[in-house]
Amino acid sequence: MAKSRRPPPIEIIPAATLLTAYSRGIFPMAEERDDEDVFWIDPDRRGILPLDEFRLSHRLARTIRSTRLRMTVDTAFSEVIAACADPGPQRPKTWINPLIERSYGNLHSKGHAHSVEVWDGPNLAGGLYGVSIGAAFFGESMFSRQRDASKIALVHLVARLKAGGYRLLDTQFVTEHLKQFGAIEIPREHYRDLLRDAVDRSANFYVLGGAGEAVCAGTVLQLMTQTS
């Protein structure tokens, strides 16, 4: 009896496949770092962070106002996603496998995936990455190597999205970490209504400056009008 051969691992998820999936509310994850493939998720309840209800604590605002850290976008996408994939004390396992790294790197090269970086001198202190379609941004993962670095990256992202006319910030799931900023969970059908409206609109991710242009803390804080 002839043995069936296992198909070769996928080298990359095509950009068109990812964009279509996100536009329909579906996203990929891997079981763990060493997996060769991904599975696709369409949660019954979806996490979002309403941009007009973002909560910035007084403590974090003071930190941003006095920080020496610099904020940029799209200068170190591959480094950011690799850092997000690294396990740590708070995250012993990761859902970001090499297939996801390659696929989102390709999406970044086509202008549909972005990174936010927080720098301490020449060193990457924290950051996040996500996918942009129309006026919807899908946050994927974040990391921090210094206290508050990932929070600063998130505040920078929200300020940029608000200034650029975005309508939806999708967090996929809601964690205790995200709840402090105002993240909520909504039913799938409600999410799809928001998604359809957002992806059909236009927005400008680079309204605060393009790749490599540092953004000052004062500009970020000026756009964040709601504090707690």
Who contacts 117 (Cβ-Cβ below 8 Å, separation ≥6)? 71, 72, 73, 75, 76, 79, 80, 124, 126, 127, 153
Q: Tell me the average pLDDT across 3-20.
A: 78
Q: How confident is the model at residue 2, as a pLDDT?
A: 46
| C-alpha distances out from residue 142 to 82, 117, 139, 145, Å | 10, 10, 8, 11
In eight-state DSSP terms, residue 68 is -
90 pLDDT above the threshold of 70: no
Q: How confident is the model at residue 55, as a pLDDT?
A: 93
Kindly list the strands in the beta sheet with 136-144, ordered across the sheet, starting from the edge strand earlier in the chain: 70-73, 113-120, 123-133, 136-144, 168-172, 45-48, 184-187
pLDDT > 90 fraction of the chain, expressed in percent and rounded? 75
Q: How confident is the model at residue 126, as a pLDDT?
A: 96
Q: Tell me the average pLDDT across 51-77.
A: 92
3-state helix, strand and coil shares in percent for the chain, rounded to the nearest 5: 35, 25, 40
Q: Residue 6: how many CB atoms within 10 A of its CB?
A: 7
Q: How confident is the model at residue 226, as a pLDDT?
A: 44
Report pLDDT digits (tens) over 175-212.
Answer: 989 999 999 999 999 999 999 999 999 999 999 888 87
Q: Tell me the average pLDDT across 67-91.
A: 88
